[in-house]
Structure 1
Amino acid sequence: MTRKRSVLALAVLASLAVGAALPSLFRAIKVGIAPNQQSQAIEPAPAEGEVRLSPAQIETSKISVKAVGPGDISRQLMAPAAITPDPDKIARVAAKVAGVVEELRKRLGDAVTRGETIAIIDSREVAEAKSEYLAALANFDLQNVLFQREKGLYEKKITAEQLFLKAKAAFMAAKVKLDLARQKLAALDMTEQEIAALPSQPIADLRRKEILAPISGRVIKRLVSIGQPVGGEGQSKELYIISDLSIVEAEIAVPAADLGLLREGQEVRIQNAEGRTFDGKITYVPATISQETRTGPVLARFLNPDFSLRPGSLIEAEISLKQARVKIKVPRSAVMMIDGKANVFVRTADGFAKREVELGRGDDNSVEVVSGLKPGEEVAVSNVFLLKAELGKQNIPEE
């Protein structure tokens, strides 16, 4: 009986010892045998300000990134403007002779080439000047022949010196008359080619005066009609106005307060009705302003090779003002205001991390980062609001 009690007591003591050792044994098995399974089951929470996204999630969300670095910050000034012809490319075609318009060969809007005949004037004044020149030319040719003959005879001692000198004086007088007749034709706007062609010209054409285009361009005004008297006292002298529209000007109404910021050579951008943009430069900044509108008419010049900028069009001009070079420039779309402070989202190996930055100068599209970023770091520049929203979800306390 005593032996049975001793065995029972030993069994109870063994059971208690095994029960006390089981928890330690289970912990050892959990830690020592399956540590990898434990780490996979319990993933550490994201750090504060971190948004974890896989490359696939970033691509699906269309979040683009850009490396930051130095750049230029510039201010833009918007002002209304009107397209005008370049005054250096405008020609007023006038009739320098009195007569009647016989032909008008160009209509409004027609293209013309320099030296092309664009009108013909029937002029008695021109006929008289041409006749005078032809007579002077014939007399000069005659006196030249006589002079050369007398000169030859005098050199051979066949004729007297008096006859030679008389022939020489007549020749010189004929030359003076010819030069005066030629100058008169030149004053009537006849070219050397036209004057040289006069001896072979038909008599019926002596009254005709061809009007030539002084420049290449387009007819923007036709000021007379066929049969209209021109060139006389009290009569119109201008026939056409031609403009070369391959270069145009924009007259920009800039407020008086901004005139001091403008300089000749500054870049200007305009847009026509079709949405095309054109780049030009300021050519004139006024020293005075209009008392009525309190603006100054600033002029800028633009190339217009296909004539899509039409004089008279009202447009909006964008003037680039002072530029400043900064060490780090980011797009404005990259900056998010979080808790009243400027932040950007920097690309990391696991996604993005919010970072507070200090901003400096800026323009309409970009802003300077004074501190908080280093050159070469990549930041989110599109759909950044998605990162801000995701970060806000993480900050919501759990119940």
Structure 2
Amino acid sequence: MRRQQIGVTTAEVRRRELSRHIRAVGQVKVDETLLTDVNLRMSGWVQELYVDETGQPVKKGQTLFTLYSPELYAAEREYLTALRRTREESADALIELARASEQRLRLLGMSPSQIRQLQRRGEAWEYVPVLSPATGYVIEKDIVEGGRVEAGTRVYRIANLKRIWIDADVFESDLPQIERNQPVRVELPYVPGRTFEGRVDYIYPTIAGQTRTGRIRVALKNPDLLLKPDMYANVEIEVDLGERLAVEDSAVIYTGPRRLVFVDLGDGRLRPQEVEIGVHADGFVEVKEGLQPGDMVVTSGNFLIAAESRIRSATKYWGGSHDSH
């Protein structure tokens, strides 16, 4: 009757399938494997700029700008001269010279199709079209019409956004439960009601010292371009923990370094029992030591029971005497 008055309830300790959801905040990033830089292999002057805005979409093979380069112009003329000489005289040395001249054009950045056009044209271009090497969006631009550019300059960075990354910060204590290819759900505050499904693509090997968080990467397809770089995202990782011995969270009392439960011995008798606990999952906590399947433990009212416990045999579980209470 006394137990009913203070609201004591009990539950059986048993093995159960556990799973938990790890939640983290992430940020949309460009997939680094889908980045392409446009670098110049020779110096020159920009004549006409066709792609003149950051964010502009481009397609592979599209003309980005035209360039006048004395070095490239001289290489074109050298190649055409070598071709004419091989037509007049098919000596091995002349054929090898033509091949070397063609290879030089390739190394300077001319595409095979441009070299074929040059052969048909028979005349060197003063202003050579510079083509986009990839399809995507211009996310960086460092070129203006009429400007001079030096060899090695990165004039564009192009990102293909059909697939993106989300970098999410996860508490250090949660990292051991995360593995590659685990399913992930992503929601964006900017796209209410829409859930994106992905998987853990990579777990970074470092920890942020101040926040004690690790970083994971989620790869997501992005066909509609709803996911844009630098957006924030809510990330949820479902972790299957398998079958484990567990009790309800409410059964465990935290007393400094110790974890206690009250075991129901029957006939109104309760025994405080120290336990070693593991992971928390969906309202349950894993019990590693201290209990056996089938034990009955108090799940509510246990704090009142602890407060009323005055017997000496229980004082060791509370870190000192309570005679003064």
TM-score using structure 2 length: 0.67
SS at match of 1:177: helix
Cα deviation per residue 1:303-338 (whole Å; 9 max; x = unaligned)? 111111010112221111125479xxxxxxxxxxxx
Residue 63 of structure 2 is matched in structure 1 by 117
Q: 1:197 to 1:257 in 2, by over 3 A?
A: same
1:201 and 1:231 mapped to 2: Cα distance?
28
Deviations 1:347-389, CA, capped at 9 Å, x for gaps: xxxxxxxxxxxxxx9637xxxxx99xxxxxxxxxxxxxxxxxx
What percent identity do the matched residue pairs reach? Answer: 27
2:227 counterpart of 1:309: yes
Map 1:1-399 → 2, pairs under 5 A? 73-106=18-51, 107-144=53-90, 171-201=91-121, 203=123, 206-232=125-151, 237-272=153-188, 273-275=190-192, 276-324=194-242, 363=282
Query: Aligned Cα RMSD in Å?
Result: 2.3
In 2, distance between residues paired with 1:250 and 1:122? Answer: 41
Contact in 2 for aligned 1:126/1:208 (Cα 8 Å) = no
The count of corresponding residues between Structure 1 and Structure 2 is 233
Distance 2:122 2:138 in 1: 31
CA distance in 1, matches of 2:20, 2:203: 18
Residue type of the alignment partner of 2:187: Q
| Distance (Å, rounded) in 2 between the aligned partners of 1:80 and 1:319 | 11
Maintained 8 Å contact 1:266/1:321: yes
Distance 1:287 1:200 in 2: 54
Deviation per CA, 1:123-171: give whole Å up to 9, x if none. Answer: 1111000000000111111112xxxxxxxxxxxxxxxxxxxxxxxxxx0
SS at match of 2:226: coil
Residue 73 of structure 1 deviates from its aligned partner by: 4.9
- Contact 1:250–1:299 (CA<8 Å) still a contact in 2? yes
Q: TM-score, normalised by structure 1?
A: 0.55
Contact 1:95/1:211 (<8 A) preserved = no
Q: 1:251 corresponds to which letter in structure 2?
A: D
Instruction: Determine which structure has the larger strand proportion and give its number.
Output: 2
Distance (Å, rounded) in 2 between the aligned partners of 1:202 and 1:178:
14
Structure 1 position 207, deviation (Å): 2.1
Q: Unmatched 5+ residue regions in structure 1?
A: 1-70, 145-170, 327-360, 365-369, 372-399
Q: Following TM superposition, by how much is the alpha carbon of 1:224 offset from its aligned partner in structure 2, in angstroms?
A: 1.3
Amino acid at match of 1:134: L
2: CA distance, partners of 1:323 / 1:216: 42
Mapped partners of 1:208, 1:95: distance in 2: 14
**3-state SS of the aligned residue for 1:176?**
helix
* Aligned twin of 2:272: none
| Large movers: runs of 4+ above 6 Å | none
CA distance in 1, matches of 2:105, 2:61: 17
CA distance in 1, matches of 2:122, 2:104: 20
Alpha-carbon contact 1:280-1:302 (below 8 Å) kept = yes
Answer with 1 or 2: which has the greater Rg: 1
The superposition leaves residues 253-284 of structure 1 with CA deviations (integer Å, 9 ceiling, x where unpaired) of: 11111111110001111112121211111111
Question: When you count helix as a share of all residues, which structure comes out higher?
Answer: 1
Instruction: Give SS of 1:301's match.
Output: strand
SS of the equivalent of 1:274 reads coil
C-alpha distance in 1 between matches for 2:142 and 2:203: 33
